[in-house]
A and B are shown apart, each in its own frame.
Chain A
């Protein structure tokens, strides 16, 4: 069975400091992994995707994620937080191989950014 676990339900950082949102996955085979962001009262926006072409994935708005098979992790990072980064972030695995690509979501991490 495939699943993702987001290790923190809430993360608070100061503006200009690094962001780390942690995600561990469980998968029987090479996973398809994503990070989505949801700003208050807005829809889900794709931040980045892991395609197996490279273990370090760059996304929008300066976010990156590194796929580490040995640690079954796909943590999301950003060198310097901005106030506009405050949102909820979801680590997601896709059941791409035999279930049409339906997405399994982590429980979400709420990111707060203090001025």
Chain B
């Protein structure tokens, strides 16, 4: 079946611009996670959605970062006023049971 998909695969933006990254989870998976992979920080958790519950935003690095999940399915991660340190690969994962997570291919964000 279809896996987790993310778009765009690559995004180059100028410092100060806003960007939106999209994640389509596996159908039927109730949990959705965002992670960031960068050279200096490795892989780090950003935010977690479970069904209709309030998201766990404890990993978001600043208030420039936000995410929403519409209809319990598609999720969008928004970064406002991008900075060069936001350059990273943003990974989305979904899970049917909060245990095994299945990752998408990621969005590589470059802030110039």
Contact = CB atoms under 8 A, between A and B. Distances in A.
Output the residue of A101, A105, A106, A107 with the most chain B CB within 10 A.
A101
> Top 7 closest A-B pairs, CB basis?
A101-B98, A105-B43, A44-B103, A43-B105, A102-B45, A43-B103, A100-B48
Given A49-B100, A94-B99, A102 B59 contact: yes
Interface of A: 32, 34, 36, 42-46, 49, 90, 94, 96, 99-108
Contacts of A102: 33, 45, 48, 56, 59
Interface in B81-112: 91, 93, 95, 97-106
Nearest to B42: A107
Contacts of B73: none
A90 B43 contact: yes
A106 B41 CA distance: 11
A49 B98 CA distance: 13
